[in-house]
Copies of this chain bind each other. A is one copy, B any other.
Amino acid sequence: MTKGQDAETLADQLHSAAIHLLRQLRKEDDASGLSAPRLSALSVVVFGGPLTLGELARAEQVKPPTMTRIVTGLEKEGLVKRKGDQRDRRLTRIEATPKGRKILFAGRARRVEKLAIAVRRLEKKEVAELRRGVQLLRDVVASMRG
């Protein structure tokens, strides 16, 4: 098997694994009452501090109209707050509310718990190998963005 075929096969398996992983985790997301896109956007706002709608849209790799609706949904649930920028009044700054932070951490914990449980079933050595693999995966995904 050449390196090139390896890469194809590996890419294909990785793609499939990612799809099935997220399908499993989506069930946990549902339990939190927040959809995956909302949860993901909320996470960026909580950890990335206040940022504009456009920045948030770029961070989530989504167009502004889509982000407008996601933010509107989060705002209606009281998880996020729109705030006009004084310097540039075209901008809308978005920041998390205390409730938003709370919900995020609770939801994240619940969502990841199922996966963490499965990870804990591995041998210690396997966990280390998986961690290395995930690190490489992150590098690979990062290099795809360029």
What is the size, in residues, of chain A's interface with B at 8 Å between Cβ atoms? 54
- Secondary structure type dominating chain A contacts: helix
Q: Which residue of B lies closest to A136 (CB)?
A: B130
Given A7-B116, A122-B136: A145 in contact with B24 (beta carbons within 8 A)? yes
Q: How many copies does the complex hold?
A: 2
User: Residue A90 at the B interface, CB < 8 A?
Assistant: no
- Bound-state Cα–Cα, A117 to B113, Å: 33
Q: Which residue of B lies closest to A132 (CB)?
A: B129
Q: Are B10 and A131 in contact (CB under 8 A)?
A: yes
A14 contacts across to B, CB distance below 8 A: 21, 115, 134, 137
Q: Which residue of B lies closest to A12 (CB)?
A: B112
